[in-house]
Amino acid sequence: MPESSLARRKASASIPISIMRRQNISREVITFGVIGTIGFLVDGGLLTLLNSFLNLDLLISRLCSFSVAVTVTWYLNRNYTFPDQTGEQALHEWTRYAMLNGLGALLNLAIFFWLIFEFSALAVVPLVPLAIAALVATAFNFLVSKYIAFKAVRM
């Protein structure tokens, strides 16, 4: 009977680990969402400042505001969402993060316009495809941040 006792101990020991993993993922998702909101505010605030108050070209303003927002969210995610997953030079990590978030932005736009063109009624209520695209892109950005951007590349 010692084998069944050992099996029971192993099973009961795995439950807390499973719960801890779920709690950690939940913490990461919530922190990532809060930091994403901060990034949105930085992006929108800087875009407004550059374009509306300093009269810079809209495209230049948007590229600047997006770059600053990506840098802010990288720094915050590096230090608060995924602090145990960093370990290489910051510039390499930032470059990977920025490129992956650029892909996330392209995914967001692609889904938005696909929904508008595929379901023309959504053009009347663009917040619906915007929300759908944002949710998908946020999930994409979370996953690539967790599993690629903040994982040190081993050579």
Residue 53 lies inside a defined structural domain of this protein: no
On whether residue 97 sits in a domain, the answer given is yes
- Residue 50: closest CA among 35, 67, 62, 32: 62
**Is the residue at 27 inside a domain?**
no
The better pLDDT of the pair 9, 74 is held by 74
Residue tagged 């400042």 (tokens): 49
- Cα-based distances in Å from 89 to 78, 99, 100: 12, 16, 17
pLDDT of amino acid 8: 46
pLDDT digits (tens, 9 = 90+) for 29-67: 999 999 999 999 999 999 999 999 999 999 999 999 999
Q: How confident is the model over 6-16, as pLDDT tens digits?
A: 444 454 455 56
**Would you state the pLDDT for residue 1?**
47
Assess whether pLDDT exceeds 80 at residue 28.
yes
Q: What is the pTM of this model?
A: 0.80
Pick the closest to residue 100 from 82, 117, 115, 116 (CA basis).
82
Side-chain half-sphere exposure of 106, counting CA atoms within 13 A? 6
Q: How big is the chain by its Cα radius of gyration, in Å?
A: 20
Query: Is the model's pLDDT at 27 over the cut of 50?
Result: yes
Q: How confident is the model at residue 109 (pLDDT cuts 50, 70, 90)?
A: very high
- Asked if the structure places residue 130 within a domain, the reply is yes
Report d(CA 149, CA 154) in Å as an integer. 13
Residue 91 belongs to what domain range? Answer: 85-155
Q: Say if 22 falls within a structural domain.
A: no
How many domains does the chain contain in total? Answer: 1
In a domain, 154, yes or no: yes
| DSSP letters spanning 62-119 | HHHHHHHHHHHHHHHIIIIISGGG--S-HHHHHHHHHHHHHHHHHHHHHHHHHHHHHS
CB 29 within 8 A of CB 142: yes
